Chain A
Amino acid sequence: MSYITKPVARHKGDRTNGLGLTTRDYEGSMSTLCAGCGHDSVTAALIQAFWELDVEPHRVAKLSGIGCSSKTPTYFIKEAHGFNSVHGRMPSIAAGANAANRDLLYVGISGDGDSLSIGLGQFCHAIRRNVNMLYVLENNGVYGLTKGQFSASADIGSKSKKGEVNRQGPIDPVSVALTLGATFVARSFSGDKQQLVPILEAGLEHDGFAFVDVISPCVTFNDHVGSTKSYAYTRTHMHEVVQTDFVPIRSEIRTEYAEGTVREVKMHDGSSVRLRKVDDDYDPTDRHAAIEYLGSVADQGEIATGLLYLAEAGEDLHRFSATVDQPLVSLGYEELCPGSEVLREVQKEWW
């Protein structure tokens, strides 16, 4: 842990975004995570993504549960809203906050323990409700805060720091998300910002639940030989299935691709995501094919990465609940609570 605060000194040539802010304006307080933690790189990628999207800091709500991953919202966008919830309960808080104020950009940061053990049910229901948010799972296969036990995402055969071999099968969050009908499913690596940043940007713009599983190595307890979530292992086994470019509104498309290899998907706000298949026989818009293909990649011992599945978001939490377009928080008391007369009228429907 560093004892000093980050110097306020800035590069005089730092670029500014549409709001006149530099990336430094999207920072939070100093990280207290271990030096070299993958989570800090995810934080840096989020800062980059928010900055590139010209997001106003006060329009962001950061939510998390418990764990190393769940500390990270403190490390970006000081001026944003934030809620650090009970272990595994971040999705409920996110759903509640989103129900009350649909105007904010919701970012949930979770880990493999928080989402795949104690909060697995919560995670599943957030997908099912299609809460409009970016859900980042910082996945390191280990319980870092409790000193290195295998987590629910640890692979069979993966070794702990002390040499013990894991024998229980992992829960793969990407498969879970695909199976449950998530419309934006991606996997990336904290050590590859070129891939991660555009995926996070697309996820923030996606009009529904956007799930990003980020392999984010635990430098203290799971970065050794024999680990399947170390920097070195992830680098050698990463298999990029789809390359993603995020194209914000109004910016010209500069990268040229051969015809037929690129699929452009329009986002609700007019921006677009360009998906370039690296594997010819992969279709990132066909859910069933995707599930099957990802399985075969996993069977070969590789980690499929990229924006793996993308579809129209469909109905979200607010459509299911038939709420008004205006955020509930901005409604007056009278409108939110019209009184027992009105309630009686509504209830007549079921009499």
Chain B
Amino acid sequence: MQPTDTRDPQYYHKVVDCQWACPAHTNVPEYIRLIAEGRYTESYMLNRESNVFPGILGRTCDRPCEPACRRVRVEDDPVAICRLKRVAADLRDDVQHLLPTAPPVKNGKKVALVGSGPASLTVANDLVPLGYECTIFEALPKAGGLMRTNIPAFRLPVRVLEEEIDYVLDMGVDIRYDHRIDSMKELLDSEEFDAVFVGTGAPKGKELNIPGRAEAADNIHIGIEWLEAIHFGHIDSVGERVLVIGVGNTAMDCCRSAKRLGGKDIKVMARKTRPYFKASPWELEDAEDEQVEILVNHSPQAFVVEDGRLLGMIFDLVEWHENEKGRLVSTKLDETFIHCDDVVLAIGQDNAFPWIERDIGIEFGEWDMPVVDRATFMTTREGVFVGGDAAWGPENIIWAVEHGHQAAISIHNHCNDIPVTDRLPYGMTLVSTKMGIHEWRYSNDYNPANRTPMRYEELERRLADIQVEAELGYDIPQTAREVERCLNCDIQTDFTAKLCIECDACIDICPVHCLTITENGTEEELRDRLMAPADNLEQAIFVSEDLPQTRRVMVKDEDVCVHCGLCAERCPTAAWDMMQFDLINPHAGQHTWSPAATSA
């Protein structure tokens, strides 16, 4: 194999599994270290740089970082990354003076943002400090999009939501409430704006058109509309027996909301079995803790209505098996009737763009969705951009934020006559953490503690009031324990071949057997020749340049390294060093690197 190019920022970036998995590439290990040092404000601000809404995401993120966490390769559970984010948000001091501000003199460019969800707010967050005048058009009387209307207050208190939205709006965003855009053509024809960003989400809940739907309409609710109505206080009660159809995260929010609005017997009806559930495991657990029943293998067939009143639903009892093509197909075993007073449909969301004319240069493709470039977020009409759920269907907040960042870069380029495809690559800084002979600037002592469980509000109290937050967050001792579980994957084992004397000390000490000195060979051979075979092909193996004494190579399996730094501690020549890697993730307005940074 050729020697690994560790000067390519993406090589070390991939080693930081959480940061790599995070769509916005949040610098997780560094923010956890800042929490460990009690520097909550700095931790919050570091989070904010990449994910804009640390307080909101610390409660609601879908956490793509956690399944990726290196800890699961040596233990069962990942570091509670998301919950630590909330700690930073909860315990921070006032950050007002640290937030970006709009310059007094504007740059003369105007940007229209349709919808005020996380994608649009991120665009504004990135562009206003550069002198742009951003106008948000919001159909509802309040900002936040689905973060506000679809996430119930017991998961995301309104105070937390509004505080972080206001950080963006208060920079001087012109937001027009109750202002639905009904025609893209009109908006463009007004020529008032240099660019238009569409961040309207996926606002249409899917329908279930089975017999009885129309007759029982009064007691059948579309999940996301129902949650929105609860948020704005239009709905404050529900029948005693509620069936929630669907088993995604919206279904979890619906069933838990129903529990708080007076529902007694709440059932979540799933067509398939648990491995196929779309809801995040922790949301399922939370719902079950609140005594919501989840029934599997129930396929809805009809609403039963008598004298104009909903009596219940008929379900097929099914079982699933794979057919020859590997597709899951169901077989009906039986039929059952379940009584209920209300039904909430939470079976997915669709995008809807009735307000975008099809003859104004914005091409629509499959599923009647606008054609959007994956890297630039631009439609086929120059100056019109789409991001968030509006781009490719429902995702989660952290994706919308990253879309916003990328779209902001494109909008900035577009407004400055720079091709939107001209984008700064990732950069990095790499700094040694050596403090003494065997001392490092990070806590390298492995802590075998298990994941810290969350504290919850007492069941009775939390079910009594929908505004009461269910999770209490970590307290200080819990935080102190959980931060030590982080393996500091950004502290890279950086190797300098010409210094190596091949004494084997690093290989002998490595607790997870990820190092070997061997003859060079093909990747397949090297993976097999390691002390413990490197079977995880998704993780790279590092190959050094030829070693001075024997012309063999140092090989490292990045898969299981726990970044304990013992290879560097036992290295007599400092051929191994523990270097802190900091990804430089370009945002709008950044055109060059600082001299300290290494770019790709």
Contact between B503 and A2 (Cβ–Cβ < 8 Å)? no
Residue of A nearest to B445 (CB): A4
Cα separation A43 to B570 with both chains bound (whole Å): 14
Residues from 46 to 94 in B contacting A, C-beta threshold 8 Å: 73-75
Tell me which of A2, A11, A191 contacts B566 (CB under 8 A): A2
Task: Let me know if B321 is at the binding interface, CB within 8 A.
Answer: no
Residue of A nearest to B512 (CB): A11
Known: A3-B439, A11-B560, A40-B570. A219 touches B511 (CB 8 A): no
Task: Let me know if A128 is at the binding interface, CB within 8 A.
Answer: no
Task: Let me know if A10 is at the binding interface, CB within 8 A.
Answer: yes
Task: Let me know if B533 is at the binding interface, CB within 8 A.
Answer: yes
Task: Let me know if B494 is at the binding interface, CB within 8 A.
Answer: no
Task: Let me know if B107 is at the binding interface, CB within 8 A.
Answer: no
Interface size class of A (residues with CB under 8 A): 35 or more
Contact between B549 and A232 (Cβ–Cβ < 8 Å)? yes
Residues of A within 8 A of B446 (CB): 4, 7-9
Contact between A35 and B513 (Cβ–Cβ < 8 Å)? no
Residues of B within 8 A of A13 (CB): 532-533, 535
Known: A9-B446, A36-B503. A3 touches B438 (CB 8 A): yes
Residues of A within 8 A of B533 (CB): 13
Chain A nearest CB, measured from B112 CB (Å): 52
Residues of A within 8 A of B445 (CB): 4-5
Chain A nearest CB, measured from B576 CB (Å): 10
Chain A nearest CB, measured from B493 CB (Å): 14
Chain B nearest CB, measured from A226 CB (Å): 16
Task: Let me know if B444 is at the binding interface, CB within 8 A.
Answer: yes
Tell me which of B73, B504, B532, B573 contacts A44 (CB under 8 A): B504
Residues of B within 8 A of A8 (CB): 446, 448, 511
Residues from 24 to 46 in A contacting B, C-beta threshold 8 Å: 24, 31, 34-38, 40-41, 43-44
Chain A nearest CB, measured from B470 CB (Å): 33
Contact between B502 and A36 (Cβ–Cβ < 8 Å)? no
Known: A2-B569, A3-B438. A37 touches B505 (CB 8 A): yes
Contact between A191 and B562 (Cβ–Cβ < 8 Å)? no
Chain A nearest CB, measured from B245 CB (Å): 40
Cα separation A64 to B505 with both chains bound (whole Å): 22
Contact between A34 and B512 (Cβ–Cβ < 8 Å)? no
Residue of B nearest to A9 (CB): B74
Known: A2-B570, A3-B438, A36-B573. A14 touches B504 (CB 8 A): no
Task: Let me know if A268 is at the binding interface, CB within 8 A.
Answer: no
B-side interface residues, number (CB < 8 Å)? 35
Contact between B511 and A10 (Cβ–Cβ < 8 Å)? yes
Residues of A within 8 A of B502 (CB): 191, 231, 235
Contact between A191 and B509 (Cβ–Cβ < 8 Å)? no
Residues of B within 8 A of A141 (CB): none
Contact between B572 and A11 (Cβ–Cβ < 8 Å)? no
Contact between A36 and B571 (Cβ–Cβ < 8 Å)? yes
Task: Let me know if B335 is at the binding interface, CB within 8 A.
Answer: no
Cα separation A4 to B266 with both chains bound (whole Å): 52
Task: Let me know if A223 is at the binding interface, CB within 8 A.
Answer: yes
Tell me which of A4, A9, A11, A41 contacts B503 (CB under 8 A): A41
Cα separation A44 to B533 with both chains bound (whole Å): 18
Contact between B501 and A232 (Cβ–Cβ < 8 Å)? yes
Tell me which of A1, A2, A23, A191 contacts B504 (CB under 8 A): A191
Pairs across A and B, CB under 8 Å, 28 listed: A2-B569, A4-B444, A4-B445, A4-B564, A7-B564, A8-B448, A9-B74, A9-B75, A9-B562, A10-B512, A11-B512, A11-B560, A13-B535, A14-B513, A14-B532, A35-B505, A35-B572, A36-B501, A36-B505, A36-B570, A36-B571, A40-B508, A41-B503, A190-B504, A191-B502, A193-B504, A231-B501, A231-B549
10 additional A-B residue pairs with CB within 8 Å, beyond A2-B438, A14-B513, A232-B549? A6-B566, A9-B512, A24-B511, A36-B505, A36-B573, A37-B505, A38-B503, A41-B504, A231-B549, A235-B549
